[in-house]
Structures are given as structure tokens and as C-alpha cells.
Structure 1
Amino acid sequence: MGQGRGWEGAVLRLMRAKDYGFTVTHAEDVTPDYRRLRFTDGGMLAATGVHPTMWVRLWFDNAGKPHQRAYTLVDPDPAAGTFGLEFALHEGCASDWARAAKPGDTIEATVQGTGFDVPAPAP
């Protein structure tokens, strides 16, 4: 994982970003233009923990070139190693991938620390 991602991938590696493989476990068409996917995390949540607004970069093939998009985790469950992502469907390689995704499909992802600290006292 993480090879052949051009300058974006090289910069992320220098910033100590970590790569993971996610597997689709469930796909739901919420509307004709909105799709929700559930994933297993490939060990990510155990390694990184979870916090509000946590996001990941997914890597898509765009006519043979790497293309990344960021998505915020929805309902992460660190104990189960699962989470959801929600996709607005429009033209583009990320939407095309999400439209066709089905259980068992995999995708590469990169996680870079966000430096989020929970405020004290907690809201």
C-alpha cells in the first residue's frame, strides 16, 4: 500500500501518515444522489484511537493516476473496528467507486494525525 501515489503520497509519507486497507461490509443507497458505506478498518481505530471530526483519505484510480479524497468517519466503533462513510454522488472517480461498491470490495486509505485535543472541561 501507499506506492505510486505521486507527490501527494510522498508528502504524506514524509508527514508520517499511516496507510490502511478498508473493506466494505455494507452499502446503502440513502437517496439516488447519496450513498452510505460501512467498512472494517484494517486495524486503524485500534492504532489511532477516534475523536470527533476524525477523517481519512481514500485513494481512487483516476484513469491510471492516483486521486485522493477526504471523508469524515461516521459512527466509528473502535471495539468492532468499523465505521461508516457517506458519499454525495456526482461525476468523478470517487463517486463512481462509491456507486459500484459492494461488500467485500477494498480500498486503500491514509490517516494523518489531526492534533485534535478534547477540550477541558468537555462540552
Structure 2
Amino acid sequence: MLPERDAALVTARGAPAVAASVREALTCPDGYLRDAALLHREWQHGPAEVACPVRAWFGEDDDRSPADGASRLLAGFADLEVTIRPATSHLATLVAHWPDVLASLPDLVAVPSS
């Protein structure tokens, strides 16, 4: 069951992509379960081998992927920036702050000149 604020985002007008994604995840959880299994086993390559910048976005009120629970995953990245949005739930981290997430990408991605 989704937290109330996330459920409101799924049912809000103009959020069909979010609703479709949640429906798919709940209908066929194989991908989620595979990701969870991979996350919690020994990794073949460690975060120290990642040469590009890593950005992690969390909602302060996210009980699905809390920032403090991600410390194992995030530990060891050389170039890490964590953003925690106050009073933000799991889905709202991306839905409400998607423009901010996208705006941060030009600083991270080198675009070849023509």
C-alpha cells in the first residue's frame, strides 16, 4: 500500500505515467525483486570504480527508500552529492522535483561539440 501522499500523486490528474509505472510494479514484481536481490548481494565492482559523478535524490519522508538506509549503497563513491528534499515522500521526490533533477544533469554530462 502506498503512503497517502504517494497515492495522491498516482491518482492526480496528469500523472498517468506515474500511475502506469506503479501498476506495472505491483502487477509484475519480478524486476523489483531482481533489483532487490542484486542490491543485497556482494557486488562484482565497487563504488570506488565508478569514475563519473553520482547524484542521489531522497525525500525526507520517504519510508520506501530512506536516505539513511542508503548509506551502504552510497558509501565509497568518489564524487557523490546527496539531495534530501524536506517534507517529500517517495514518489514526490521525482514527480515534484523532476525539473530540479533534470536541471542538474547538464553539469554532469559532457555533450560533444559538433
Give the TM-score band, short-chain normalised.
Answer: under 0.3
Larger helix fraction of residues: 2
- Which has the larger Rg? 2
Higher strand share: 1
* TM-score (norm: length of structure 2): 0.24
